[in-house]
Each structure stands twice: as C-alpha cells, then as structure tokens.
Amino acid sequence: MKVFKMEIRTVTETMLGSGESLPGIVDNDIRYDDMGIPYMNAKTLKGHLREQMEMIIHVSGDKYSSINIAGLLGSADEDSEKELARLHFSKVGPSEPVRRTIRKWFANNTVHTADEILDALTIVNTYTRIGSNGIVENGSLRTARMFRKGLILESYIYADSITDLEEELLTDAVKALQHIGTMKSKGKGVVECSLHPTGEVDDE
C-alpha cells in the first residue's frame, strides 16, 4: 500500500462548518475532538478532490481520459453502479507534531483545556447581511468558527493500488485545490496544497 501526505496551508481563515451551532456563541461551528483539536471529515476532502479531478480530465484532452475516477475514489452518491475506492483518506487536521504536543499536555494533566486549544487554532468571526439599500439587515448578525490563516493541516492518503498516471492526476488535483469550505465568495477558504509520497506500508 502506497502512502501520501497531503499538506494544506490556510492562506486565509477557512470555514469548515459542521452544520452545528453553539447556542449564544457560534452560529456555524467547526468539528473538533475532546481535546479541542479541529478537523474536517475525510469524505469532505475526497469530494473536493473529486471535483478537481473531473475538471482536470475535462480540460486535459486525452492525457487522463483512460482514468476512471470512481475506481480511485469510489462511486459518487448519485451513481447507480457502485465501485469501491482504492484511495482512502484520513481526516484533515493540524500536523502530527502539533497533535502530539497537545496529546502530551493532556496526558500530563497540564493547565491547558480543550477550549484553549480550540481558541489557539481557530477564530470566531462575525458577519452581517447588507440589504439592497446598503444598510445592515436587522437580525442578520451571525458568527462562524474558522481555522486561523497560516496553519498547516494534513491528511494521509492510502492507495491500495495506483498507477503512475493515476498518481500524476492525484498530484495535479491536490495542487489545483485552492478553495475549501464555505464563504469562498467572501474571501475565505483560500488554501495552498501539496502532495508528498511517504513510502509504502504492508497491507494488514
């Protein structure tokens, strides 16, 4: 099994909402674990990369025309015939050194709390909606928690099997991914992504 590390640098604050809220504090919250470490589901990342692969195949002529995306990522939800994925993704979160340090703090019962960890890695922004008259609409004030800009996030990608051409498409799709999450039209979610082969591991 071949393993890749995908690195995602947040150029701007990035909103990866969970669809949940924290009443009275955050209208659109982020996913985070018991230690306050925020993350994005692997399925969401896979959806972003599927979009990039489809776009690249569409514009690249014959180069990638022989590649079946469903064979790599599994069938899309709307596909009638289902295929199993050969690429498997870990969830997206802070780099392993950051997570290791946080786990050590909690193991040693230091004064750091989950709320402090969450506040260090995220920021809560407020925003409003402007009406056609150029005035803020009543009751439109909202808050959203976002990853701070300048963070290095990562996900590991495990390939049951992958050809050289498929690996090239995966690399191109990762590089092409420049926006993730919501509020992209408002300048949020700008990212820089790169893919790094880390070697191979034996299948268990």
Q: Please give the Cα distance from 110 to 11 (Å, whole number).
A: 31
Residue 204 has pLDDT above 60, yes or no: no
Q: Provide the Cα torsion 186, 47, 159, 74; round to 10°.
A: -170
pLDDT of residue 154: 96
State mean pLDDT over 112-135.
83
State mean pLDDT over 94-100.
90
Which token pair is 111?
């004064």
Residue 195 has pLDDT above 90, yes or no: yes
Residue 69 has pLDDT above 70, yes or no: yes
Determine how many CB atoms are found less than 10 A away from the CB of residue 132.
Answer: 6
Average pLDDT, the chain: 86
Residue 174 has pLDDT above 90, yes or no: yes
Q: Please give the Cα distance from 178 to 116 (Å, whole number).
A: 29
pLDDT of residue 61: 86
Q: Which structural domain range is residue 118 located in?
A: 2-200
**Predicted confidence (pLDDT) per residue in 125-167, tens digit:** 887 777 777 776 776 678 888 999 999 999 999 999 999 999 9
% of the chain surpassing 70 pLDDT: 88
Q: Are strands 191-200 and 2-10 parallel, antiparallel or unpaired?
A: antiparallel
Q: What is the DSSP string of 24-59?
A: TTBSBPBEE-TTS-EEB-HHHHHHHHHHHHHHHHHH
State mean pLDDT over 6-19.
86
Residue 54 has pLDDT above 60, yes or no: yes
Q: Please give the Cα distance from 50 to 22 (Å, whole number).
A: 31
Per-residue pLDDT band for 72 (boundaries 50, 70, 90) equals very high
In sequence order, what E strands does the chain have? 2-10, 31-32, 38-39, 87-89, 93-94, 122-127, 142-147, 152-159, 191-200
pLDDT of residue 132: 75
Strand partners, 48: none
Into how many domains does the chain fold? 1
Strand partners, 116: none
Rounded to a whole number, what is the largest CA-CA distance in the chain? 63
Task: Quote the DSSP letter at residue 132.
Answer: T
pLDDT of residue 24: 58
State mean pLDDT over 55-79.
88
